[in-house]
Structure 1
Amino acid sequence: MKYVDEFRDGQLAREIAAQIRREADPGRTYSLMEFCGGHTHAIFRYGIPDLLPDNVRMIHGPGCPVCVLPIDRLDAAIELAVEHGVILCSYGDMMRVPGSRKQSLLKAKAQGADVRMVYSCSDALKLAQQHPDREVVFFAIGFETTTPPTALVIKQAQKLGLKNFSVFCNHVLTPAAISNILESPEVRELGILPLDGFIGPAHVSTVIGSQPYHYFAEEYQKPVVIAGFEPLDVLQAIRMLVRQLNEGRAEVENEFSRAVTEQGNQKAKAMVAEIFELRRVFEWRGLGQVPYSALRIKQAYADFDAEKRFTLTRRSARENKACECGAILRGVKTPRDCKLFGKQCTPETPLGSCMVSSEGACAAHYSYGRYRDEGQTIATDADR
């Protein structure tokens, strides 16, 4: 299959890994963060840590939009379904995320709320057309990848003159999160989280392009390599980062050139700019209040903004005290550092967002990495 099978070649993976081992300076440590949850899953699924030298360390970042959504925003979505009686449309990976009081959208549905899983935001738009007597709210979530489709359905709803469709907007922005991580005390002052470079997200970069990452390379002197999600993509990105660090360079390089350009998708960006504007501040689970890190619907399209159409209660929500999702999302801790991991917290009984999400670090570690920690061996695709 074009652009898939050729990027999963086991022999090539071993050759690139051998090159990384030859080029990695044994006298230093390379701490590299993969921001995107898709990369985290690829790293665990294909056994990439087993192919790297001990001094090349992968740190898992907050690149999972489900994981970083704060509990009070999830509680607000549940409130829309339960107390306002709307048809709430959500992507499937949000359904089981625990909110406060152990409530979730799936539990709310079981208790009688009209919560529906959709595969695209256009499905929610169709429901609004099919049920003109009901309020339909789309629970919009995601990074820059899923934002253009949300913008498009808002524009379509306006064109159709729909009065019963709105969007609960929770779209967040990748560059702001990276800046927050680099500015945090754990990175700049305490040295708890050394970061030498980033693997830039794939799908996000097809939309925004490689240009926004130049700021990090110039301001923080941290190299960025944008990479695809296949194992050879990730390995080649690691090799490119190691080489940059060895040469004292801090540049933006694009390994995923088959899909990512410098400027990205101009039409998609124009659509987003027409419908959305920056929020002054937005809370991220694990990162706290991050300035200019999320989008809201512009006043011109306020009729389709669920936050303006409905009065929502702002409740203070507390995390499970034993859950380490916040620290894991910042890369300060790993899933194995959480006392709940693999015991009370599993994919079947998730207590934190990092375990329930299909892109969460805990879910990836549980599915592909936990047996290695227990002294057993996993046969990876790269070995076959």
Structure 2
Amino acid sequence: MRYLDEFRDPVLARKLVGDITTRATRTWTVMEVCGGQTHSIIRNGIDQLLEPAVEFIHGPGCPVCVTPLEMVDRALEIAARPGVVFCSFGDMLRVPGSERDLFSVKARGGDVRVVYSPLDAVRIAEASPDKQVVFFGVGFETTAPANAMAVVTARRLGVSNFSMLVSHVLVPPAMTAILDSPANRVQAFLAAGHVCTVMGTRQYGPLAQRYRVPIVVTGFEPLDLLEGVRQVVAQLESGEARLANAYPRAVAPEGNPVAQAVLEDVFEVCDRQWRGIGAIPRSGWRLSERYRDHDAEIRFDVADLHVAESADCHSGEVLQGLIKPSQCPAFGTRCTPRSPLGATMVSSEGACAAYYQFRRLALPLEVRGG
């Protein structure tokens, strides 16, 4: 904990807050593109501490939240079939589909299992050759290498009854879509450090130059985030717009070349639907032709399953930064973590969940330890 505590020092946090609020001559709108960063910002009251110098806009940085409704329904369709063992991380089990969730399928007799690694699903498949074992591969670039290695391992071991339902999405195309939107208010980005740990930073420099927006790679602890904001505000106030790395202890410009090589082998870029946002060109991954026989969409013939988003859930507007979670009419009443209308309320990284959990306080939040 000592290493983490160094990045939660309240004295240093107050100094950074002072530097930011003193430097800012107006309110700057900054988007973080990571659900972990959103929760850290809200949990530690960073957004409140920086008012009115900075307004945070919470972007589509929660992988569970942006998994499209049709993909969840495909998962539910597969999981309900006899002879199928459907494996997933726990955060997907309560994400609502059109009419039910994976917990409901399990309650009705479906063999739905929580695993802690995609390799667990491969082991289940190896031990159960009479079953079709499916892993729900959800996430950004961060979780993709482990999912890719599960497919490679299944191929190497000859585990033909293992397949993956892939719902991987990519961060830079989502940022581009936000910047291209007529409703865009984002003036700078905090880029997700864990994504850049895998992929490096080369994709972000051209974005910063093209759209004239500062992009600062940062981490997840309070001091990481405050330093990222400090660098963003310094650029905005001086009229600069470039890529900067405020997370050098974890992020190298080239990223992880070994992981990137595996990703290039196993996946290929494709268009993807984003929940509440719609289609973004070349914003996702699917299994490459070499591994297509492990594609659960093809194996179970569910690729053509399409559904309409619910009009009652405003998660799309939340994910695009158009509204704050508390501005949704259903927030905290018809939509709660126990009965969510959308994934942003049930996911551990969802903005709605963060607001629900941490904003039921009578007093303003303070930096921990202050």
Establish whether TM, by shorter chain, passes 0.5. Answer: yes
CA contact (8 A) 1:13 1:382 kept: no
Q: Which runs of 5+ in 1 are unaligned?
A: 188-193
**TM superposition shift of 1:317:** 2.1
1:168 aligns with 165
- 1:111 equivalent to 2:97? Answer no
CA contact (8 A) 1:40 1:359 kept: yes
**TM superposition shift of 1:378:** 4.7
Residue of structure 2 aligned with 1:254, choices 245, 248, 252: 245
1:44 aligns with 42
CA contact (8 A) 2:9 2:369 kept: no
- 1:331 equivalent to 2:321? Answer yes
Larger mean CA deviation between 353-362 and 301-310 belongs to 301-310
The DSSP-based 3-state class of the residue aligned with 1:186 is: coil
Larger mean CA deviation between 307-316 and 201-210 belongs to 307-316
1:307 aligns with 297
Per-residue deviation, residues 350-378 of structure 1 (Å, max 9, x unmatched): 1111000000000011111243xxxx115
Letter in 2 for 1:207: V
**Alignment partners' CA distance in 2, 1:84 and 1:202:** 41
TM-score by length of 1: 0.94
The DSSP-based 3-state class of the residue aligned with 1:293 is: strand
**Alignment partners' CA distance in 1, 2:360 and 2:310:** 22
**Alignment partners' CA distance in 1, 2:356 and 2:334:** 13
- 1:132 equivalent to 2:123? Answer no
Q: Which runs of 5+ in 2 are unaligned?
A: none
1:236 aligns with 227
Residue of structure 1 aligned with 2:92, choices 87, 91, 94: 94
**TM superposition shift of 1:283:** 0.6
The DSSP-based 3-state class of the residue aligned with 1:57 is: strand
The DSSP-based 3-state class of the residue aligned with 1:199 is: strand
**Alignment partners' CA distance in 2, 1:85 and 1:327:** 39
Letter in 1 for 2:38: T
The DSSP-based 3-state class of the residue aligned with 1:139 is: strand
**Alignment partners' CA distance in 2, 1:342 and 1:270:** 44
The DSSP-based 3-state class of the residue aligned with 2:338 is: coil
Letter in 1 for 2:236: L
**TM superposition shift of 1:380:** 4.0
2:3 aligns with 3
**TM superposition shift of 1:2:** 4.9
CA contact (8 A) 1:14 1:51 kept: no
Letter in 2 for 1:232: L
Per-residue deviation, residues 132-176 of structure 1 (Å, max 9, x unmatched): 110100110000000001111111111101111011111111111
**Alignment partners' CA distance in 1, 2:22 and 2:215:** 21
Per-residue deviation, residues 316-367 of structure 1 (Å, max 9, x unmatched): 4233322110100000011111111111211122111100000000001111
The DSSP-based 3-state class of the residue aligned with 1:350 is: coil
2:151 aligns with 154
Change (3 A) 1:268 1:116: same
The DSSP-based 3-state class of the residue aligned with 1:210 is: coil
The DSSP-based 3-state class of the residue aligned with 1:292 is: strand
Per-residue deviation, residues 94-143 of structure 1 (Å, max 9, x unmatched): 00000002x00111101111111111101111111111110100110000
Report how many residues are paired: 370
2:18 aligns with 18
Per-residue deviation, residues 51-96 of structure 1 (Å, max 9, x unmatched): 1131311100000111011111100001111135410101111000
- 1:290 equivalent to 2:287? Answer no
The DSSP-based 3-state class of the residue aligned with 1:382 is: coil
Identity %: 46
**Alignment partners' CA distance in 2, 1:29 and 1:378:** 20
**Alignment partners' CA distance in 2, 1:274 and 1:259:** 25
CA contact (8 A) 2:192 2:217 kept: yes
1:217 aligns with 208
Residue of structure 2 aligned with 1:201, choices 192, 195, 200: 192
CA RMSD of aligned residues (A): 1.3
**Alignment partners' CA distance in 2, 1:195 and 1:260:** 24
Residues 42-81 of structure 1 mapped to structure 2, 5 A cutoff: 42-81=40-79
Larger mean CA deviation between 356-365 and 307-316 belongs to 307-316
